[in-house]
């Protein structure tokens, strides 16, 4: 049975006080259950504090939103996987489209980040997804395949299985436009077939693939009804405890393959 995962990406939002009330609301009732894992990715400076909350909510896992491709050295402003591991962080989002487009992260850089994370026993949450022009020119599958190839396919099967994948069409991120369940299923199935070709059907069948892009409490259940959608990477809606909780509950209701 594949893991079911709901991950919240707070991006560059919330003051410490706001983060505290959101975390308190998340911790108040443990609404993970039926096997759904909850991952929260706050800004770097809240990571240690959020990781300490696991004493009250052991089901909470903590992710960074980025890391350096280097382990240490003269890289002002950067944070390494070694540092994240020393705080007890479990995962790190890698290759988010905002990092790719705003900060110019390339496939080569992402492959190095994935390596640093795995060396330090952190799980990469590796994002891929096409822009609107790429979809409109029917290059969405090719784009996603290239992203997987460049960032992940240097890994052996054992290392790949430590990763979580997230399909996030760029045109759906923060726009309020969600991929239809059919579009999401088509791409998740495609990603699994690409993994299957490169590794094996069994390996591909074990990798969780999350959907990301304007997931809300009202569209979550439809998206989660797709057989190859194993959860969500949630941006905006993860900033509201009630909304995030409903998304987790929608995943809980899924009887997974
Ligand atoms: P969104 O962001 O849910 O606000 O669209 C998703 C993401 O960027 O991971």
Note the pTM of the prediction, 2 decimals.
Answer: 0.96
- For residue 173, the ligand 1 atom closest to its alpha carbon is 5
From ligand 1's centre to the CA of 29, what distance in Å? 24
186 is catalytic: no
78 is catalytic: no
From ligand 1's centre to the CA of 62, what distance in Å? 17
From ligand 1's centre to the CA of 91, what distance in Å? 17
From ligand 1's centre to the CA of 6, what distance in Å? 12
pLDDT at 256: 62
From ligand 1's centre to the CA of 235, what distance in Å? 4
Residue nearest to atom 3 of ligand 1 (CA): 235
Instruction: Choose which residue among 131, 235, 239, 243 to substitute to test ligand 1 binding: the one with the highest number of ligand atoms within 8 A of its C-beta.
Output: 235
User: For residue 17, what are its two tokens?
Assistant: 């006080």
Secondary structure of the chain as H, E, C letters = CCCEEEEEECCCCCCHHHHHHHHHHHHHCCCCCCCEEEEEECCHHHHHHHHHHHHCCCCEEEEECCCCCCCCCCCCCCCCHHHHHHCCCCEEEECCHHHHHHCCCCHHHHHHHHHHHHHCCCEEEEEECCCHHHHHCCCHHHHHHHHHHHHCCCCCHHHHCCCEEEECCHHHCCCCCCCCHHHHHHHHHHHHHHHHHHCCHHHHHHCCEEEECCCCCCCHHHHHCCCCCCEEEECHHHHCHHHHHHHHHHHHCCCCC
Q: Please report, in tens digits, the pLDDT of each residue of the chain (257 residues total).
A: 899 999 999 999 999 999 999 998 888 766 666 688 999 999 999 999 999 988 877 778 999 999 999 999 999 999 999 999 999 999 999 999 999 999 999 999 999 999 999 999 999 999 999 999 999 999 999 999 999 999 999 999 999 999 999 999 999 999 999 999 999 999 999 999 999 999 999 999 999 999 999 999 999 999 999 999 999 999 999 999 999 999 999 999 886 65
Burial 120-152 (b: 16+ CB within 10 A, else e): bebbbbbbbbbbeebbeeeebbebbbebbebbb
Residue nearest to atom 1 of ligand 1 (CA): 235
List all residues whose CB is within 6 A of at least one atom of ligand 1: 9, 168, 173-174, 212-215, 233-237
pLDDT at 201: 97
pLDDT at 53: 87
Give per-residue pLDDT as tens, 64-109. 999 999 999 999 999 999 999 999 999 999 999 999 999 999 999 9
Residue nearest to atom 2 of ligand 1 (CA): 235
Catalytic residue among 37, 69, 96, 130: 96
């Amino acid at each position: 049975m594949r893991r079911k995962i709901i991950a919240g990406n707070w991006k560059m939002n919330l003051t410490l006080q706001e983060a505290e009330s959101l975390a308190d609301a998340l911790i108040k009732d443990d609404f993970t259950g039926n096997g759904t894992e909850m991952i929260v990715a706050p800004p770097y400076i809240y990571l240690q504090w959020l990781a300490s909350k696991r004493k009250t909510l052991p089901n909470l896992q903590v992710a960074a939103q980025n890391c350096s491709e280097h382990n240490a050295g003269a890289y002002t402003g950067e944070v390494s996987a070694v540092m994240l591991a020393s705080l007890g962080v479990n995962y790190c989002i890698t290759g988010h489209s905002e990092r790719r487009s705003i900060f110019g992260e390339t496939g080569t850089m992402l492959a190095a980040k994935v390596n640093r994370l795995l060396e330090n026993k952190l799980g990469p949450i590796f994002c891929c997804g096409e822009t609107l022009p790429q979809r409109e020119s029917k290059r969405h599958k090719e784009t996603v395949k290239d992203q997987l190839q460049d960032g992940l396919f240097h890994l052996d099967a054992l290392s790949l299985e430590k990763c979580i994948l997230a399909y996030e069409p760029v045109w759906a991120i923060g726009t309020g436009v969600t991929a239809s369940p059919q579009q999401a299923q088509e791409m998740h199935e495609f990603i699994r077939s690409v993994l299957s070709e490169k590794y094996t059907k069994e390996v591909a069948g074990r990798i969780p693939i999350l959907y990301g892009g304007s997931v809300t409490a009202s569209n979550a259940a439809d998206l989660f009804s797709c057989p190859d959608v194993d959860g969500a990477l949630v941006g905006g809606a993860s900033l509201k405890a009630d909304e995030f909780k409903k998304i987790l509950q929608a995943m809980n209701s899924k009887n997974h393959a």
